[in-house]
């Protein structure tokens, strides 16, 4: 069953990186003006800002902070590097708490100098290590499986099944999953794993964009919903069947769109959200 | 259990595309001179050649023809295009028979204008349609699962599990699977699916290369074994445990290596085969 068309923006969230040329203050102002209701804040957008004041600015403009993006990158062959990663995740939890973000998205990481199995173990151990602090701060951690083309250095968690398995293993209401259509659309097990994610009450986030045909860059060539080959609405239908009623988060990295006037791009996002998502 | 080091070239096969700057005649001569024992012939290398004579030339130089690469690309939203694909696969079977190649590798295809499910159904139907001709000619068909980054236009079969499922469904001694480390290395189910492939007696081919870190191009930046992050020897161990005793096929697309002197590159391949595969 495909989802119904989206007729209002009450569930639209946009990641700050999507409109990267804008400062966070510009993004907040423009999102708010157009009726966008949620924002996911990338940490680079916070450079030099006071976290609390930025959080207040966002809320005063009628936007919900959906998540802080991103923690993770736990694996490293060297112990010292793993320690640095843990410290950085602890810092992210503090930042999320100050900002008033209820969740951190984890891009889990991978170290090409060791096996994927070792990286996966270090991811699990890393999350377990910072989990008490996250719980104490009331911050949820969302494991985001990344496309297998990022298995070398960005994530050893490459399917929703793996993310679900890890969330089940960690067994905490503060650990769940962020499902991004860009990373998962090709997976024949996607429908069943989204269902399973819902049954475990750990579908924490849903990210949308599209896969351009052809795709010309491993990172910076994501498409706007409807431009590529991902059945975004069909996947949203599976997500809604779990009872998910959170935000649909537009996360697009695109040198092409970053070169555009960002107000025009925002209008394109809103149109694509309503008509193609 | 990791595989033992390879000390001779008796199982080394090289794809013609790996040394693309060489004509097939040059490749045959140079492979033979260096003691390579197998060759997989890409169809573009046969342009303007007499198939039978080329087959004889290869055999006269002490090389086994491992497979003809490639058939497939079955899916298309338009019926007329699917018909063209079927005709091309029939032509490939004729070519393989004339050349004396016992097998065709299938890059199955995908059409971004339709669902992956539709593409998968058309792949299955396409293979079923040409299978009687393949069987009559004594040519095996090897389904090659491709990395999920090619799910848009190159293959809707993206895991070894999917390829195994399809081979089981088609249930013929002339349908099996080609496992390529480049496409499959990230998959947490790889070991068990290689085992299953062996249990079904349909592991027809094993392709090796490496995943460069970073990888700079979606197609033309494959690495030589040992250069990247794929545990080639570990995966070869799983393949050998199935009882596989066929060729280890070096299939590298690399603009970097194609710019090199190809005799030097061939020496590098042989060294990497022995030391890192």
Residue A134, in any domain of the structure: yes
Residue B7, in any domain of the structure: no
Contact list in B for residue A231 (CB cut-off 8 A) is 115
Contact list in B for residue A158 (CB cut-off 8 A) is 186-188
**Helical (H) or strand (E) element with B42:** strand B38-42
Which runs of consecutive H residues, i.e. helices, occur in chain A?
24-34, 51-60, 79-99, 116-137, 160-170, 181-184, 190-199, 232-241, 255-258, 262-276
Residue in A147, A153, A229 closest to B213 by CB: A153
Burial class (CB in 10 A: 0-12, 13-18, 19+), A258: middle
Residue A6, in any domain of the structure: no
Q: Tell me what pLDDT residue B2 has.
A: 74
The nearest CA of chain A is from the CA of B101 a distance in Å of 32
Give the residues across from B69 on adjacent strands. Answer: B42, B105
B213 contacts A152? CB cut-off 8 A: yes
Q: Tell me the HSE value of B77 on the side-chain side, using a 13 A CA sphere.
A: 7
- Classified as helix, coil or strand, A207 is strand
Give the residues across from B41 on adjacent strands. Answer: B68
Q: Residue B99 — very low, low, confident or very high, per pLDDT cuts 50/70/90?
A: very high
Q: Could you tell me what percent of chain B has a pLDDT over 70?
A: 100
For A133-189, give the secondary structure using H, E and C. HHHHHCCEEEEECCCHHHCCCCECCCCHHHHHHHHHHHCCCCEEEEEEHHHHCCCCC
Give, for all 277 residues of chain A, the pLDDT tens digit.
578 999 999 999 999 999 999 999 999 999 999 999 999 999 999 999 999 999 999 999 999 999 999 999 999 999 999 999 999 999 999 999 999 999 999 999 999 999 999 999 999 999 999 999 999 999 999 999 999 999 999 999 999 999 999 999 999 999 999 999 999 999 999 999 999 999 999 999 999 999 999 999 999 999 999 999 999 999 999 999 999 999 999 999 999 999 999 999 999 999 999 999 9
Report angle CA B170, B176, B182 to the nearest 5 degrees.
130
Q: Tell me what pLDDT residue A183 has.
A: 98
User: Residues 6 or more apart from A95 whose CB is under 8 A from it?
Assistant: A43, A46, A51, A68, A101
Q: Tell me the pLDDT tens digit for each residue of B25-57.
A: 999 999 999 999 999 999 999 999 999 999 999
Domain containing B191 equals 12-231+240-276
Q: How far is CA B215 from the centre of its chain?
A: 20
Encoded tokens for B229: 């992050």
* Angstrom distance (rounded) from CA A180 to CA A67: 14
Residue B6, in any domain of the structure: no
Contact list in A for residue B211 (CB cut-off 8 A) is 152
Query: Which of B205, B232, B181, B177 has the alpha carbon at shortest distance from B5?
Result: B232
Residue A2, in any domain of the structure: no
B152 contacts A211? CB cut-off 8 A: yes
**Helical (H) or strand (E) element with A222:** strand A222-223
The radius of gyration of chain B's CA atoms, rounded to the nearest angstrom, is: 18
Contact list in B for residue A214 (CB cut-off 8 A) is 152-153, 218
- Classified as helix, coil or strand, B250 is strand
Q: Tell me the pLDDT tens digit for each residue of B216-234.
A: 999 999 999 999 999 999 9
Q: Tell me what pLDDT residue A1 has.
A: 58
* Angstrom distance (rounded) from CA A49 to CA A18: 19
Helix B262-276, helix B24-34: angle, nearest 10: 50
* Angstrom distance (rounded) from CA B22 to CA B43: 14
Residue B211, in any domain of the structure: yes
- In chain B, how many domains are there? 1
Instruction: State residue A214 phi and psi, 5-degree precision.
Output: -80, 165
Residue B5, in any domain of the structure: no
Q: Which residues of A touch B (CB under 8 A)?
A: 112-113, 115-116, 147-149, 151-153, 158-159, 162, 185-188, 211, 213-215, 218, 228-229, 231
* Angstrom distance (rounded) from CA A3 to CA B205: 42
Q: What share of chain B is helix, strand, coil (3-state, %, to 5)?
A: 45, 20, 35
Contact B143, B178 (CB under 8 A): yes
Contact A234, A191 (CB under 8 A): no
Residue B89 has pLDDT above 80, yes or no: yes
A213 contacts B218? CB cut-off 8 A: no
DSSP-derived secondary structure letter, A43: G
A188 contacts B213? CB cut-off 8 A: no
CATH code of residue A233: 3.20.20.150
Encoded tokens for A237: 């239908």
- Classified as helix, coil or strand, A40 is strand
Residue found by looking up tokens 């490939």 in the block: B92
Residue in A147, A158, A213 closest to B153 by CB: A213
End-to-end CA distance of chain B: 14
The radius of gyration of chain A's CA atoms, rounded to the nearest angstrom, is: 18
Residue B80, in any domain of the structure: yes
Q: Residue B1 — very low, low, confident or very high, per pLDDT cuts 50/70/90?
A: low
């Amino acid at each position: 069953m495909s989802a119904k068309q989206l007729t209002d923006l009450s569930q639209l969230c946009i990641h700050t990186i999507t409109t990267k040329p804008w400062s966070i203050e510009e993004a907040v102002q423009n999102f708010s003006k157009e009726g966008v209701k949620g924002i996911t804040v990338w940490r680079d957008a916070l450079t030099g800002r006071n976290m609390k004041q930025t959080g207040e600015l966002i809320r005063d403009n009628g936007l919900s902070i959906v998540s802080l993006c991103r923690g993770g990158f736990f694996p490293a062959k060297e112990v010292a590097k793993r320690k640095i990663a843990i410290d950085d995740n602890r810092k992210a939890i503090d930042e999320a708490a100050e900002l008033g973000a209820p969740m951190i998205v984890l891009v889990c990481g991978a170290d090409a100098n060791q096996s994927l199995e070792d990286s996966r173990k270090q991811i699990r151990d890393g999350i377990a290590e910072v989990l008490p602090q996250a719980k104490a701060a009331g911050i949820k951690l969302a494991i985001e499986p990344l496309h297998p083309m990022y298995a070398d250095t960005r994530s050893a968690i490459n399917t929703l099944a793996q993310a679900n398995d890890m969330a089940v293993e960690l067994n905490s209401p503060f650990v769940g999953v962020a499902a991004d259509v860009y990373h998962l659309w090709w997976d024949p097990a996607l429908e069943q794993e989204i269902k399973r994610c819902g049954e475990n009450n750990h579908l924490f986030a849903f990210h949308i964009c599209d896969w351009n045909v052809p795709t010309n860059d491993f990172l910076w060539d994501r498409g706007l919903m409807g431009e590529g080959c991902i059945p975004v609405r069909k996947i949203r239908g599976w997500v809604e069947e779990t009872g998910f009623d959170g935000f649909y988060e537009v996360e697009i990295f695109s040198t092409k769109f970053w070169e555009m006037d960002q107000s025009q791009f925002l209008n394109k996002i809103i149109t694509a959200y309503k008509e193609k998502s």
